Amino acid sequence: MATHQAALRSVTYTNSSHNPSTATRTVSFQVTDDTATTSNSATRQIALVSLAGHAKPAVFRAGDWLLRASQSSGVADIAFTYGLPTDTAPLLCDWDGNGSRTPGLFRNGNWLLRNSNSSGQADLSFTFGLPGDIPICGDWDGNGTETVGVRRGDQFFPRNSNSSGFADVVLTYGFASDNSPPNAVLAGDWDGIGGATIGVYRSPGIWELKNTNATSVDDVGFGYGLAGDSPVVGDWDGSGTVTAGIVRAAGGSLVRQLRNSNSNGVNDVGFGYGLAGDTPLVWR
């Protein structure tokens, strides 16, 4: 009897969907003991919390995209090929506003966007920017769709539609040297009120973030990371605010150390995903 009671206490429920419904589950089960006697049916209500809105790790590796459905070490849950081994500017953004980030490529001013995480041809292609620009994407106007932008020297050029044309805003922020790795230009909803704004990461571990897309000084500045780290940003805890993370090469692998606030401190979540040489990305 004690063995059966212990077994019942250890029953777990797992939902393998990447985007599960959060409706309460009703689970019923019975136990048959070693005398072939079956117990009465027991019923439990199980509440689920969807992690669909949480940012999750991904990497680009010579044309292969490897996406993992949780903030943990392990193998890719979604893997596909898109682009060329020589592509050096992969992005994951919500190009069609459906809530899921999918791949995009920037090649010398040409954008090649795909609306599903699968192999195939670009669903949308257009020109915006110049060869040598740094590509960036974000929901600049807060309408739920992430669109293109480029960084050139110390200027940002965001556009509010995924199409050819002029930038909707031109602003100056940071230094031209912010474009050279491990420094990086960033976009995210740093204050959680909606819409993406710009920022820069400056090695070693200096973060300068703006809450408006306008030429001015930073609104938030803090230290997080070490020399040689690369930045990643995402809504790690599903709070609606995009916060800092760093990726650090260690023993041939990539280790992510993520924080749930844009402030000094230690990581809230840490795990390994990807190999040294991969381009670290974030999806949801």
CA distances from 14 to 18, 47, 153, 204 (A): 12, 12, 49, 41
In the chain, the percentage of residues whose pLDDT exceeds 90 is 81
Burial of 76 (0-12, 13-18, 19+ CB in 10 A): middle
pLDDT at residue 30 in the model = 73
Other C-beta atoms within 10 Å of 180: how many? 11
Quick: pLDDT tens for 106-144: 999 999 999 999 999 999 999 999 999 999 999 999 999
Question: What does the alpha-carbon distance between residue 139 and residue 268 come to, in Å, rounded to a whole number?
Answer: 26
Closest CA to 270 of 225, 228, 223, 238: 225
Quick: pLDDT tens for 140-160: 999 999 999 999 999 999 999
CA end-to-end span of the chain: 45
CA distances from 130 to 78, 116, 172, 194 (A): 32, 26, 17, 29
Cis peptide bond N-terminal to 90, omega within 30: no
Kindly report the pTM of this predicted structure. Answer: 0.81
β-pair partners for 41: none
Greatest alpha-carbon span in the chain = 77
Q: Map out the domains of the chain as residue ranges.
A: 2-46, 56-283
Can you list the positions of beta strands (E) in 40-180?
A: 42-46, 56-61, 64-67, 78-81, 90-93, 102-107, 110-113, 124-127, 134-138, 147-152, 155-158, 171-172
Pairing of strands 102-107, 56-61: unpaired
Helix, coil or strand: residue 228: coil
pLDDT at residue 3 in the model = 55
Burial of 84 (0-12, 13-18, 19+ CB in 10 A): exposed
pLDDT at residue 48 in the model = 45
In terms of DSSP H, where are the helices of the chain?
2-9
| CB-based contacts of 25, cutoff 8 Å, min separation 6 | 13, 15, 45, 46, 47, 48
pLDDT at residue 14 in the model = 52
Q: Which residues of the chain have pLDDT under 70?
A: 1-25, 27, 29, 31, 33, 44-53
Question: What does the alpha-carbon distance between residue 15 and residue 57 come to, in Å, rounded to a whole number?
Answer: 19
pLDDT at residue 2 in the model = 54
pLDDT at residue 51 in the model = 44
